[in-house]
Every structure is written in C-alpha cells, then in structure tokens.
Chain A
Amino acid sequence: MAEGSDSSSMGFLGRHYKEVKEHWKSNFAFLDYYKKTFGRTEPLPKWTDADVEEFIASDPFYGPQLNAIRESRKYAIFGALLGAAHLGGVSLRYSKSPHGFVLATGFGALCGGVLGLEVAEHWKQLYKIDKQAANLRFLYWWEDKTLGNQRN
C-alpha cells in the first residue's frame, strides 16, 4: 500500500480521497449560498421589492419561481395569525395566566406559520423547484446590476 502511493503522486488512495472530498463538497454545496450573502468583504446594497419585481419580469425561467416563493409569504402570515389566534384562544379558555397566553400565542404563530408554508409548498408546487437556486439567481442578477454600475 505504501508502495502504491509512492509510485505515483495520485495513487489509488489519493484518487479515492479526492473522490471522497468531491462527494462531500457536493453534499454541502448548499452552503455556497451563504458565500453570496455573508462571504463578502462588503455587503451588497439592500434591494427593495421593486428590484425583485424587476427581476421577476426580466427572467423567464427563475422569475415565476421567485414569484411563487414570494407568494408563499402571504400563506405563512395568514397561517401564523390563524395559529396564534387558535392557540391563544385555547389558552385563555383554560387558564388565566398571562405568560401562558403569550407562550401559547407565540407557539401557535410558529406552528401556524410552518403549516402555512407547507400548504403553499404543495399548492404552488414549490417542491418541484430549487428554491435556493431561484434566490441565488436573483442575487447574481442584483450583483451584476449594482457592481456593474459601480464599475461603470
């Protein structure tokens, strides 16, 4: 085994180790997303809803996906309100403690929000799209727009 790795710079073990590293790099590829947001020396300028709308109009493929993702926000808010009201009402019915009401309402908002996002995911078929890729495309577009302006 030692002779094998000595005979060539990339012996059997070396090649295997390289394959393993690439495998895990592809597994953790979702972390590259954060290089675009946190891994910068200076942050990108903050975008507004109008900029996002502009991107949605401009990109034929990722635009509708990003639009669907943004629509799911309304589902989350509606679900959070519903869940908070329901669980807060239940806690008020059975107990008079104010901290219990606060905790129950908070937890109800969390559960309702998650449920709303799940409903949106299946109603708009968001499970079919790569949400991270859609977000990343917008970031690429925004980066080209702002840094391109700075360059020019």
Chain B
Amino acid sequence: MILIRLGDGLAELDPSGSIDLVNLQNDALPGGSSVEKMDKNSRFAVHADASFALRGFLSGTSVCSRMDGVCQKLQSLEPLRGCRTVMKLPYGCSFLPENSQPMSSIHGSRGIHVTRTLSESTRVVSNRPLSPHLPVKKPQLSATFSISHRIFGASLASAILLIPIAWQFSLLLDI
C-alpha cells in the first residue's frame, strides 16, 4: 500500500489510479478535519490517464535499493522534512512508501517511466471501461471528409508504391 502525503493529510493510492483519502483517525494526522480532507482529495485527485506514469514513477522510486540514493538526491534539493523516507513529488504532494512492492524491483534502476511487464499492466489496466466517444459523436461533414480523405490518400499512396512492383514481379515470374 502506497500512502501519499497530500499537504497535511495522508492518502492511499489504489490500483485504479484514484487517490482515496485514508480513513485515519483525526489524532493520527497532524491536522485538518474530514471536510478539509475531502477538499484536498478533490484538488489532488490523480486522473486515470495519468495513473500509469504516476504509478510508474511511484513504483520506480519506491524500490528499497534505490530509496537511499533517491532520498539523498531529493534531500539535496529540498530541506529535510523530518522523515527520512518522505519524498516530494512535483505538484506539492509527497509520499511515504509503506511496503516497497517487490514487483518494481525487477525493473532495475530506471527513472520515471518504468516499463512494466505485460502481465502486470494487463492485470491492473485492462479491466476499466472507457466512456463512449465514437458511438455518441454525431457524424459531421468535416470529420467524415477528413477521415475519408486520409483513407483515400493512404490507399492511393500504397497503390502508387505497390502496383509497379507487382507488375514487375508478375511479368518476370508469371511464366
């Protein structure tokens, strides 16, 4: 479980990519009521599209073997936050990794965009439904014209390139 520190609160990053605020006791947090927590959640919610890169960044930087190196690198930029393992993300949210996930350690020491194996990505990414785009958009003359122009151009280009080659092959190889 990866916990993200949003300002004063803590949030949990779950596999779907959205950040849900951890249901912690008030005394466990340095400050802020539950209402403030909701505002912070709505402000800092990570979009599902960004979750892939963010997850990659998080899992890439949460490897135990690299944590010291990254910690020292980041701490050279930022003043010490009182906790050795707290790291600062670009947009004002920092996180402290709970259990460094073992699956990220097989990718080695890579930066932000950790390449995931096919099994990992299909496990967490492929099950979410997408909102309809093509079925709901009303076909317009401009869009129809544009895509038909592209299709015709692609077929014309391939015909111009391939027909002389096919002609040469057929003449020389037919009989």
Confirm or deny: B169 has a beta carbon within 8 angstroms of a beta carbon on chain A: yes
**Contact present for B175 and A114 (CB under 8 Å):** no
Total interface residues on A, CB under 8 Å, equals 19
- Cβ of B171 and Cβ of A73 under 8 Å apart? no
B165 touches A132 (CB 8 A): no
A76 touches B165 (CB 8 A): no
Q: How far is the CB of B170 from chain A (nearest CB, A)?
A: 9
- Say whether A105 faces chain B, with CB atoms less than 8 Å apart: no
Question: By the criterion CB–CB under 8 Å, are B168 and A117 in contact?
Answer: yes
Q: Is the CB of B175 within 8 A of A117?
A: no
> Inside 8 A of B147's CB, which chain A residues have their CB?
none
CB closest residue in chain B, given A126:
B172
A66 and B172 contact, CB distance less than 8 A: no
Q: Does B171 contact A114, Cβ atoms closer than 8 Å?
A: no
- Contact of B172 with A69 in the complex, beta carbons under 8 Å: yes
Q: Which of B11-60 contact A (CB under 8 A)?
A: none
- A114 adjacent to B174 (CB under 8 Å): no
In chain B, positions 129-175 with a C-beta closer than 8 Å to chain A are 165, 168-169, 171-175
Residues of chain A touching chain B, judged by Cβ–Cβ distance below 8 Å, are 47, 52, 66, 69-70, 72-73, 76, 110, 113-114, 117, 120, 126, 131-132, 135, 138-139
